[in-house]
Structures are given as structure tokens and as C-alpha cells.
Amino acid sequence: MDLSLISLEVGVALLGLLILLIDLWTPEERKKHLGWLATGGLAAVFCYSFSTFDQGDAIINGYSKDALAVYFQGFFVMAAILVVLLTMSYAPRIRSGISELYALTCFALAGMTFAAGASSLVMLFAAVELITITFYVLTSFERHRLRSLESGIKYLILGAASSAIMVFGIALIYGSTGALDYHEINRAALASTEQPMQLLFQLGVIMVLSGLAFKLAAVPFQLWVPDVYQGAPTPVTAFLSSGSKAAGIVLMLRLLAEACPSLMDEEWLRQLLGLMAAATILYGSLCALRQRNLKRLLGYSSIASAGYVLLGLVVLNNTGAQAVLFYLAGYIFAVLAAFTVISVVSEESDDEDISILANLHQRSPLMAVALTLSIVSLAGIPPLAGFLGKFTLLRAVFEAMETIPGLPWIIGAAMIGVVISLYYYFGVIREIYWGTGRFWEEKKPSTEPLDCPRTAEIVLLMCLFGLIGLGLFPEPMLSLAGEATSNLFSASR
């Protein structure tokens, strides 16, 4: 086995171990600065990931290192860099072991990078578990806060249940096809003519997809989202909604494209995904309407976003996959910027009610602008990345409208979701610029300047750069995404 193929993944895991080791010799007050080490290491990995981009596809047993994998690996590392920086600004609030937080982030990242290339069911399961188990620890990291513990336990129970479903699905697939590698599964599935075996295979695929939908937070596996998002430390929430979600998507994409070409002509697969997409969008948008807690609000909005991503999967072709990849690229910058601002602002009052944003435009223009732009991007309004993401998704779906019955209804639901989401996104912007605090409190909201930690500032500037850059000059990213997906759905046919 050629180790150089997985050097990036191994590098990330080693970085985590290295941080734990160095931690032993670092005095307590300087541990926070280990974050710079993590950032530097990840940045090096990020640069390295570009050098592997043109090497062409390489497939070793159950693990492929193709353009799609590299695209997502770059994406995950980028998200992790931003999250580590955010964690550094969050450090004063962590009472126990800040360096473990960095290390665990690296381990979760390692799981994600493995997920990007997983092309066998074993690899898929191992990657998912590496991510999920790390997140059990991460979500309950603030042990002194009841909410954090609660979120950890909720995530643990529901995550374990979804893993169980997934393992069952894997067993069914293995039982019906006798293979674990995607390509072998595909061959066996195409060859099989027995009706019962095919049924078992289909059932297995549905169960694995359900397990992944849990990561994605798609209806009906979304119940954990608001509580876990609210309770977990904010950097962890940010990573959960960017990295973990994207990991679910890449696993789903690869599973559908490489293991299930035999199901491509089946009507029910598209209908199932479409129904899920529509339900997810509507659920997320409607629940967010009356939400006042910012982290829960973003949790619901991330459910809705998962729905749009599923919309791109419904069409099951390369255009749809390309749109999904581009949408995600714009999405992480928006989400990370929003969580960074919330993390900084909520520190002062130890509160996450939407009214803490009042007067933010006076207190910290940078944060106000960053949050505004990220919200505008999430709402899908030009000229930011989110608009082009939704635009490419809609284009992909419209293109397939004539071939898939029922799609107009799903598009209609998505459009309604967009309109509903404008209402609650607008509520956030209203609070920033002309909010008056809580009406039941006599106290006027503060107008004192609010300091933004240096590292959080870096995150915000990077996110703004990404949001505006992707919005105005999307061509390079679109072509990268196009390259990554160019032979995804056609190759295995």
C-alpha cells in the first residue's frame, strides 16, 4: 500500500497527536497559543493539498484519491483552519484543557478527510465513526455547563441510533451483494437478477442513506440539531454545521454515484430524495420563524440549507453535484462568519438571545458588516456567494425538470422556503441596525464599543473575502467543482 496517497490524512492526524504531546511541556498560560501551531500546521496541509490536485485519480482498496476527494479535503482543512482560529478567540471560556480541543478538532478533521475519499462501506463507517465520536466529546466539552452536557448526551444517543441503522444497512448490502467496495457492489448489483436480493440491497442503501442524513440534519433525522447547536461550544457548533455536514454530503454523493448506478433508473430513489429535500427546506424555514436564540436560529437555517443541498442531489447528475460543491464552498464562509460574530457577542452577556445584536453596527462595524453579509449570503441575495450557490442549484434542478415527474412541486417548496427564510434573516439584520433590545427590559442596549479578538477578526476577514470573492468571481471555484464532479456519475455507468 502506497502511504503517500494518504499523506494528507495521516498528516492531519499526526498534527493532532503532536499537539497533545507538546501540550505536556507547555506551561498552562501559554497553552492557548498552541492554536497557532495548529493553524500553521493546517495551513501547510492546505497548501500541500493543492499540490496533490493534479496527480490524477488513484484508487487503492476502498479508498479513492480523485479530484472530488481533493476538493473536499481542501474544503475541510479550510473550515478547520477557521474553526481553530475561532477556538482561540473562544479560549478564555474553556475551563478544561484548551489543547485537547485543538487536538480533537484535528482528529475530527482527519475523519472528514478520510470520508472525502471513502469508497467502500468499511471506510465509510470508520470515517463516520471517527467524526461522530470526536464530536460526542467536543459537544460536551464545556463540562461545567449543563446545556453543553445535555447537547453531548443528545448527540450521543441519537448519533448511536443512527450509526446502528447505518451498520444494519451495511450488513444488508453486504449480505445481498457479498461486497464492501463500491465498485464491486455495483457489479454485483447489476448482475443480480433475484428479486428478493435486489429488495434487500435497496433497503440497505436506504438505511445507509438514513445514517448519513443524520449527519446532514435532513428531515426526519433533524431533531438533534437545535439542542446540540445551542448547547455545544460555539466553535464546535460552527464545525458541526460546516465540516460535519459536508462530510455527510460527500459520503452520500460517492455512495450514490459509485455504488448505486443500478438504482439510477428507479423512480423511488429520486422521489425519496426530493421529498426529503422539500420537507427539510420547509421544516427548517418554518421552525426558524419564531426563533429568538441565535444559535438555534442558525441551527434551523442549517437544516434548510441541508434541504437545498439535497435538492442538488435529487437530479443525480454531474451538474447537480457541481452545484452542490459550489454551494457548500459559499456556505462555510457564511456560516463560520455568523458563528464567529455570535461567539464574540454572546461572550459579553452570556446570552444568545437575538437582542444582544442591538446596536452592533455602532459597537463593532466589522462584526456588523460580517454578520450582515453572511446573512445576506445565506438568504441568497446577490452579489454574494450564497446567491450564486442557490442559482447554480436551481439551474441544475430546472434543467432536469422535464425528466423527473413531481420536481416542479419540489422546486415550488424550495421557492417558498427561500421566501420564508427572508423573513427571519431580515429579523437578524433588523436587530443589528435598528434593534432596540428586549421590549420587556427597561435597560437600553449598550452602545459601548465591543472589542473583537484578533483571531476572530482574522476569521471574519477571511470569510468576507471568501463571500465576496466567490460572489463576484466564481469562475475558478466553479471550474474546480466542475472538474471534481466531471466523471462522478458518468464513469460508473
Rounded to a whole number of angstroms, the minimum distance from the CB of residue 217 to another protein is: 25
**Comparison of 338 and 414: residue with beta carbon closer to another protein:** 414
Rule CB under 8 A: choose which of 92, 175, 178, 382 binds another protein.
382
Rule CB under 8 A: say whether 267 interacts with another protein.
no
Rounded to a whole number of angstroms, the minimum distance from the CB of residue 302 to another protein is: 21
For the segment 349-368, give every residue that binds another protein (CB under 8 A).
361
Rule CB under 8 A: say whether 394 interacts with another protein.
yes
Span interacting with another protein, options 15-23, 86-94, 388-396, 450-458, rule CB under 8 A = 388-396
User: How many angstroms separate the most distant Cα atoms in the chain?
Assistant: 73
Strand extents, DSSP E, 28-122: 58-60, 63-65
Rule CB under 8 A: choose which of 137, 158, 161, 381 binds another protein.
381
Rule CB under 8 A: choose which of 399, 449, 461, 465 binds another protein.
399
**Long-range CB contacts (< 8 A, 24+ apart) of 389-394?**
389/323, 389/326, 389/327, 389/328, 389/329, 389/330, 389/331, 390/308, 390/327, 390/418, 392/322, 392/323, 392/326, 392/327, 392/478, 393/308, 393/309, 393/311, 393/312, 393/320, 393/323, 393/324, 393/327
Rounded to a whole number of angstroms, the minimum distance from the CB of residue 142 to another protein is: 36
Residue with grid cell 448505486, as numbered in its chain: 260
Q: Produce one character per residue of 273-285: b if its CB has 16 or more CB atoms within 10 Å, e if not.
A: bbbbbbbbbbbbb
Rule CB under 8 A: say whether 383 interacts with another protein.
yes
Our CA angle for 372, 374, 377, nearest 5°, is 110
Contacts of 475 (CB under 8 A, 6+ apart): none
**Comparison of 46 and 433: residue with beta carbon closer to another protein:** 433
Rounded to a whole number of angstroms, the minimum distance from the CB of residue 253 to another protein is: 20
CB 252 within 8 A of CB 127: no
**Comparison of 222 and 372: residue with beta carbon closer to another protein:** 372
Rounded to a whole number of angstroms, the minimum distance from the CB of residue 371 to another protein is: 13
Calpha distance 321→484 (Å, rounded): 9
Rule CB under 8 A: say whether 40 interacts with another protein.
no
**Comparison of 268 and 423: residue with beta carbon closer to another protein:** 423
Closest C-alpha to 113, from 80, 82, 72: 72
Site string for another protein, 410-449 (x = CB under 8 A): -x---x--xx--xx--x--xx--xx---------------
Site string for another protein, 465-484 (x = CB under 8 A): ---------xx--xx--x--
Closest C-alpha to 313, from 322, 302, 303: 322
Rule CB under 8 A: choose which of 50, 268, 398, 409 binds another protein.
398
Calpha distance 99→286 (Å, rounded): 39
Calpha distance 49→402 (Å, rounded): 39
Give the interface with another protein as residue ranges (CB under 8 A). 361, 376, 381-383, 387, 391-392, 394-395, 398-399, 411, 415, 418-419, 422-423, 426, 429-430, 433-434, 474-475, 478-479, 482
